[in-house]
Amino acid sequence: MPDATPLEALATLETQGLAELASAAAEEVAVRAWNTKYFGDKGMVKAALAGIGKVAKEERAAYGQAANKVKVALETAYAVALEVAQEAALQKSLTTDSIDVTLPGRQLSPGKLHPATQILHKIYGIFADLGFQVYRTREIESDELNFELLNMPEHHPARDMWDTFFTQTPGQILRTHTSPGQIHVMRERCPEPIRVILPGMCYRNEAISTRSEIQFLQVEGLVIGEGVTMADLKGTLTAFARRMFGPDRQIRIRSSYFPFTEPSIEVDIDWPKDDPNRDRLTKGTGWLEILGAGMVHPIVLRNGGYDPDKVTGFAFGMGPQRMLMLQHAIDDIRLFWGNDLRFLRQF
């Protein structure tokens, strides 16, 4: 048998290609392998197109046309075969790996704010109504601001009221209260009048128990201006207590001592008579301490840049976690940072 002519070889390429594609039997992998064999870099179609160089000159035009036709025919057949194979694969997965669309989806549990954040927001809201701005200052403080400038020189016995965490950097401590924020805000705003609250975390080196933690929140308040008096302090705290704990609350003021206020007071609120926990919470007195406060000491005013002969001010410091514990009869302060969802989900 004589050798096939180039045109005959092209015809054979087409029939052979179509037959092989048909026997790939709707399997995607086999269909793709076929494509590589015919259309890959070293594929048979490419070789056939390149073969034009060996064809006699007068036959080239006919050869080129025929080769192109073969190429298009095989390409079209491939596209159809691939689609058929993919459709078959989809049908198969729908019948064998069936999904039960009637199964309920997985519930997303929406997060919510930590109870401590919730009460902070409530406090911000109340003081915003009273014209206070929120002012934040640092948690790592200098000994100077945490104590000295608040009228507690080194070795002052009042420093014993705060068990302090020291850092390895001399003079740098974890703030034991939010009061050093008073100095920051005064030095920034002086000589303007001030009406701010300073919320944030404080740290004390205490044995952790149901009643004390090494970290806890405080909200400090500071008001400075001409003619600010104890009556303003009393009015502000009464307004706060009534918005926070109920419109009928009374406040009671006892004298106290803080080095940075003079005079210093402690403020109690009366606990509702109809609350069955009243006696336990108030140890039978009916009154509950909610914060410490006082008129800003002249030395502190001066340290903040103000002239105590021209302006006066008041300050207070409260513990929002303690307020939450009162409101919800929480008897263990460690629950706050324990990350126990059974506790957190109740709020």
Using CB under 6 A, which of 292, 304, 313, 320 touches ligand PHE?
292
Distance (Å, whole) CA 275 – CA 83: 75
- Residue placing its CB nearer to ligand PHE in the complex, 5 or 229: 229
Using CB under 6 A, which of 315, 323, 325, 333 touches ligand PHE?
315
Using CB under 6 A, which of 38, 78, 216, 258 touches ligand PHE?
258
- Residue placing its CB nearer to ligand PHE in the complex, 35 or 312: 312
- Residue placing its CB nearer to ligand PHE in the complex, 261 or 312: 261
Distance (Å, whole) CA 90 – CA 82: 12
Distance (Å, whole) CA 156 – CA 162: 12
Angle between helical axes of 320-328 and 115-129 (0-180°, round to 10): 110
Q: Does 261 bind ligand PHE (CB under 6 A)?
A: yes
Q: Does 181 bind ligand PHE (CB under 6 A)?
A: no
- Residue placing its CB nearer to ligand PHE in the complex, 118 or 256: 256
- Which among 110, 258, 236 has a CA at the least distance from the CA of 182? 258
CB within 8 Å of 335: residues ≥ 6 apart: 343
Q: Could you give the strand order of the β-sheet that contains 261-270, starting from the edge strand earlier in sequence?
A: 133-134, 194-203, 215-225, 312-318, 287-296, 261-270, 251-258
Distance (Å, whole) CA 165 – CA 72: 82
Using CB under 6 A, which of 132, 203, 287, 316 touches ligand PHE?
316
Token duo for residue 200:
């944030």
In the Cβ-directed half-sphere of 307, how many Cα atoms lie within 13 Å? 4
- Residue placing its CB nearer to ligand PHE in the complex, 32 or 252: 252
Q: Does 135 bind ligand PHE (CB under 6 A)?
A: no
Q: Does 293 bind ligand PHE (CB under 6 A)?
A: yes
- Residue span 83-112 as binding mask against ligand PHE, x where in contact by CB under 6 A, dash where not: ------------------------------
Task: For residue 324, count CB atoms less than 10 angstroms from its CB and return exposed for 0-12, middle for 13-18, buried for 19 or more.
Answer: buried
Using CB under 6 A, which of 180, 181, 259, 294 touches ligand PHE?
294
3-class secondary structure, 50: helix
**Binding-residue total with ligand PHE (CB under 6 A):** 11
Using CB under 6 A, which of 137, 146, 151, 179 touches ligand PHE?
179
Give the shortest CB-276-to-ligand PHE separation in angstroms. Answer: 30
- Which among 127, 332, 113, 117 has a CA at the least distance from the CA of 244? 127
- Choose the binding region for ligand PHE from 98-106, 151-159, 183-191, 292-300 (rule: CB under 6 A): 292-300
- Choose the binding region for ligand PHE from 21-29, 52-60, 290-298, 324-332 (rule: CB under 6 A): 290-298
Interaction residues for ligand PHE, span 214-253 (CB under 6 A): 220
**Can you say how many angstroms the Cα of residue 278 is from the centroid of all Cα atoms in its chain?**
37
Q: Does 137 bind ligand PHE (CB under 6 A)?
A: no
Token duo for residue 162:
């705060």
Give the shortest CB-294-to-ligand PHE separation in angstroms. Answer: 5
> Looking at beta carbons, which residue is closest to ligand PHE?
317
3-class secondary structure, 315: strand
Enclosing H/E stretch for 86: helix 60-96
Q: Does 317 bind ligand PHE (CB under 6 A)?
A: yes
Using CB under 6 A, which of 177, 189, 195, 297 touches ligand PHE?
177
76 contacts 284 by C-beta, under 8 angstroms: no
Give the shortest CB-343-to-ligand PHE separation in angstroms. Answer: 26
> Strand 251-258 relative to strand 261-270: parallel, antiparallel, unpaired?
antiparallel
Give the shortest CB-128-to-ligand PHE separation in angstroms. Answer: 20
Token duo for residue 133:
């701005």
Question: What residue ranges bind ligand PHE (CB under 6 A)?
Answer: 177, 179, 220, 258, 261, 292-294, 315-317
